[in-house]
Structure 1
Amino acid sequence: MQIRALKIFCDVVTRRSFSKAAEDNGITQSAASQTIHQIESHFGTKLLDRSKRPFVVTEEGKVCFDHCIKLVRQFDELIARLNNVHSHSADTVKVASIYSVGLSYMKQFVQRFTELNPEINVQLEYHHPSEVYNLVKSGGADLGLLSYPTATHTMAVIPWREEEMVVVVAPGHPLASDKSVALQDLNGFDMIGFDQNLRIGQEINRVLADTNTTPNVVMEFDNIETLKRAIEINAGFSILPKAHVQREVAGGTLTTVEFHSHSLLRPVGIIHRENIKLGANTENFIELLIGDTHTPTLTTHHQINSLKQQSDLDSQSEVMPSSK
């Protein structure tokens, strides 16, 4: 005797209808009726009196129902508990992040997630963007956080943030007193740029070339932290995500100048393996990230596996097979 058959019997009794019970269980009314006949045959007694309209539950049927409903509920509870054990067996969410994104955002999210889920550990590691991509692809990380992410047939992307890019200078720099500048205003100034193997460096150079802007590139680095240190000694200006220099601006070691003629944005996204079912804890962590009120792109739990967007990997030391 299968639990499913007992559930159909209980549903017929509870709903007082073969058709409604059949619909609840995704079967035909005829199949529901046959199931009841099989149960009656198994026990050797009539459980329902079909000679009356509507049918009447016999005394034997009432006894059977009282016991069967307990079995069905216990079975449902067993399934729920097993699913809960399974979801908690993967009690670590492994996140690989480029340095700039991890250092700027992740502490608050990891802390909040841990407070909400004290039994779950978030393992956060910082890597070069190409390594972030490889870790997610190989299953070494559940999620990756990158700038300029690219969706492929093996990798899904969830758009997360668009970071405003600004001119960053030392307080003593000639541009420091300007409230805003045009790209052409940067002509002739010494510039500290990103390594050209990085997508962010390629994107900035493309924008400069498109506007015939030709600063004097004196240094190139592969991460934002080193760039900021060079700017602080007034070695030149750079173009960086505004969110990543807030601490230095507040401390008076750096100044930002916005663009008034162009809007430069750095896209940041969450990557995970395509066509791989995410664990419940991983999905919950993603929901926490995309539910952040400062995030421009909001999604729901049911959209997680379908959100994709073409871009290209990046990071401070940020690259994918060719990323920033």
Structure 2
Amino acid sequence: MNIKTLKIFCDLAELKSFTRTARLHQISQSAVSQHLHSLERALGLILIERDKKNFNLTPAGKKILEYASQIVKLHEQLVSAAAEMTNTVAGTIKVSAIYSLGLHFLPPILKTFMQQNPTVFVHVLYSTASEVYNAVLTHSVDLGLVAYPEHNPLLKVIKIAEERMVVICHAHHPFSQRQSLSIKDLQDQKFIGFEEKVPTQIAIERVLRKFNVRVNKVMEFDNVETIKCAVEIEAGIAIVPETTVTQEVARGTLKAIPLIEPEMYRPVGVIYRRDKVVTPAMEAFLQALMKKTN
């Protein structure tokens, strides 16, 4: 029995998935099973009911989870205290980010941070907004990166940036010749959006309603990469963060036109649990993220 095995058990209990737990720890599903079997053998207890349809902790598993969670948290505190004593910035940081931030906003920050802190390993997971919140709340990750951060009494929220939103279209679309657009110019246009529950789409819909603009929504997706692909095949136009289309604009496969009436900016925030032990490595990473606003 070791700390890693206890941490894997805690994550497995929270995520209720061998696949997601394996992805989080960057190991195979069979390795997750081996850790679980090892813990069960060491304790002489069955911790998880073997049912292919459902995932449930046994009564013993629920009790062991309470102790295991405490031990894992104490271990984090110990590592943090030792690092502070030696002024060492080292360790692993687990970050869950929505796709657009993880693929476009985070990489340049991460590159600089890793160059300055070579003894810190940052593990990034790409997720939907709801998955990011869940991962942070269940202690599965240390930090979350989201757009339009929501208030939650259990979470600390730090605003780190605002991303300008632009209209994107194919190079052959009439909008491609425009220098700017009003939201009213989008009336009756074929529109490709995010899924309804995505915070960015909620904000877009709010602006459309405010200006009494109707679009013809022909497709919706849960991530910006698929939206861009749909616009590239001339399925319609879309509103996305400007940072997500710099490569396509440079290649000439998409045109990005600023919205000026009204201007739209997407707030970006980092979230973590208020009761989270902030290690020196986490503090250094938070500082790197907050420099984005300067």
Q: TM-score, normalised by structure 2?
A: 0.69
1:103-142 residue pairs with structure 2 within 5 A? 103-142=103-142
- Aligned partner of 2:240 in structure 1 is 240
Contact 1:87 1:281 in 2 (8 A): no
1:1-324 residue pairs with structure 2 within 5 A? 82-84=82-84, 91-292=91-292, 295=293, 298=294
Q: Which runs of 5+ in 1 are unaligned?
A: 1-80, 299-324
Deviations along 1:76-96, one digit per CA (max 9) or x if unpaired, are xxxxx9454687596111111
Q: CA separation in 2, counterparts of 1:214 and 1:151?
A: 30
Deviations along 1:56-94, one digit per CA (max 9) or x if unpaired, are xxxxxxxxxxxxxxxxxxxxxxxxx94546875961111
Specify the SS of the correspondent of 2:158: strand
Q: CA separation in 1, counterparts of 2:258 and 2:89?
A: 48
Contact 1:156 1:273 in 2 (8 A): yes
Q: CA separation in 2, counterparts of 1:83 and 1:101?
A: 29
Q: CA separation in 1, counterparts of 2:185 and 2:89?
A: 57
Q: CA separation in 2, counterparts of 1:141 and 1:187?
A: 42
Compared CA separation, residues 137 and 90, structure 1 to 2 (3 A) = farther
Specify the SS of the correspondent of 1:260: strand
Deviations along 1:198-238, one digit per CA (max 9) or x if unpaired, are 12112211211111111211111111000000001111111
Q: CA separation in 2, counterparts of 1:239 and 1:93?
A: 32
The aligned amino acid for 2:213 is: T
Compared CA separation, residues 164 and 89, structure 1 to 2 (3 A) = closer
Q: CA separation in 2, counterparts of 1:284 and 1:222?
A: 31
The aligned amino acid for 2:255 is: T
Contact 1:180 1:260 in 2 (8 A): yes
The aligned amino acid for 1:94 is: K
Specify the SS of the correspondent of 1:191: strand
Q: CA separation in 2, counterparts of 1:157 and 1:221?
A: 26
Specify the SS of the correspondent of 2:281: helix
The aligned amino acid for 1:121 is: F
Q: CA separation in 2, counterparts of 1:83 and 1:156?
A: 23
Q: CA separation in 1, counterparts of 2:160 and 2:82?
A: 33
Compared CA separation, residues 258 and 82, structure 1 to 2 (3 A) = closer
1:153 to partner: Cα distance = 1.2
Q: CA separation in 1, counterparts of 2:87 and 2:126?
A: 26
Aligned residues between the structures: 214
Q: CA separation in 1, counterparts of 2:130 and 2:148?
A: 12
Specify the SS of the correspondent of 1:270: strand
Q: CA separation in 1, counterparts of 2:84 and 2:241?
A: 41
1:277 to partner: Cα distance = 3.4
The aligned amino acid for 2:276 is: I
Contact 2:84 2:280 in 1 (8 A): no
Q: CA separation in 2, counterparts of 1:173 and 1:245?
A: 16
Q: CA separation in 2, counterparts of 1:124 and 1:210?
A: 36
Compared CA separation, residues 82 and 213, structure 1 to 2 (3 A) = closer
1:260 to partner: Cα distance = 2.5
Higher helix share: 2
Specify the SS of the correspondent of 2:278: coil
Q: Which runs of 5+ in 2 are unaligned?
A: 1-80
In our comparison, the structure showing a higher alpha carbon Rg is 1
Compared CA separation, residues 121 and 85, structure 1 to 2 (3 A) = farther
Deviations along 1:9-49, one digit per CA (max 9) or x if unpaired, are xxxxxxxxxxxxxxxxxxxxxxxxxxxxxxxxxxxxxxxxx
Which runs of structure 1 show a deviation greater than 6 angstroms over 4 or more consecutive aligned residues?
A: none
Contact 1:87 1:279 in 2 (8 A): no
Deviations along 1:128-187, one digit per CA (max 9) or x if unpaired, are 211111111121111100101113210010001111111100000011111112111111
The aligned amino acid for 1:112 is: T
